[in-house]
Structure formats: C-alpha cells, structure tokens
Structure 1
C-alpha cells in the first residue's frame, strides 16, 4: 500500500472520486445519493461504476443519481426525472422513450417560456 499515508487532497480528481464512492458504499446503505458520480473518472472506472450501481440496484437498494449524461443515466435508471428550475419537468420510465430522443425531450421541457 504505497500511498496509504498520502493525504486525500494529493490524489488526482479521479482517485478522489473513487474514494468518495467507496466511502459511500462501505457501510452498505439502503439508499445511496450520488451527485454526478462519473465526474473525473476515466472510461474504465466509469464502466466499473455503472456495473456497481446496477448491481446495487438489482440487490434491492435504492440509488438516486444526478447526471448531465442522459444516455448513461437512461441506461442505468428505472426512472429518469428531468428537472427544470428545481421542479420535475418530465418523468420517464425505462423503455418509454428511445435514448436517442432524450436530448430533445430535455431541451423541450427545460426551455424558457
């Protein structure tokens, strides 16, 4: 464990993100809240996180996640809520819409006016 005495602030952004995720699941909570959990992760780590979140959810636990990556969120979620000004502007259940349609739905429900 060559870095066991390193301060967390000395870690890369991706390593800090991995550590934060590990800390959040360590005590095996029934409900997990993640704010942009893929931020700072490389493609391999992001794919591992996708697998981990799917495994957690399939085990009966609840995962709530914010994300600006609509295709990734849609692949992971049972339900996708799009917020506009702090209010749910659209709620889409898995399979109700094609993933390719999500950016247009997002633009439509979040535009002013």
Structure 2
C-alpha cells in the first residue's frame, strides 16, 4: 500500500518542481499537511481504515488539491484567464504586473515597465 503512495507523491513533487513562484509547492505542502491531519482523524474515528492509511490517503489527496490551487493562482493548469496580480509602484504612482509567460513586467496599460 505504501509503495504506490510513495510513487504518487514523487510524481506530484516532480510535476510541481517546474514553477518559479513557489505557489504550487507551498500550496501542495500545506494541502498535504492538512489532508494528512484530516485523514488521520477520520481513520482514527472510523476504525476501519486506521490512522496511518488515513493520513497517507489524506496527504496524497490534499497535496494534489493544493498543487492544482497553486498552479491556478499562477495562471496555469487550465485557468480561464492569465494571472494579472497587480503591484503598486509608489515612486511612479502606477500599478504594474508580471507576465510569467514572457518573464517581463508591464504597466497596467500594457506598456513595458
């Protein structure tokens, strides 16, 4: 039972290692931790599955959900619109955003920063 879980976790780690912002990794780790806690609690309460198995299944499910959430925050994974999170430049008094596709910064009107 544990060998397939380890394989799935390894594959999820490799798939999430290709981002530059860290949202995917951070959300995957947080989701895995919360999923493990919830799975362990459910496993202890139910008595049928066991604490260890519940924690392992919860970690895999939570890690996957967290990774997808982080990827969508970055504008990937099939998100409907690209991530246009804006930042404020106090000196210029204008907003700008980072385009992860080109690796460049742009003012909110689309002009290069």
Indicate whether the TM-score tops 0.5: no
Which protein is richer in strand relative to its size? 1
TM-score (norm 2): 0.23
Which protein is richer in helix relative to its size? 2
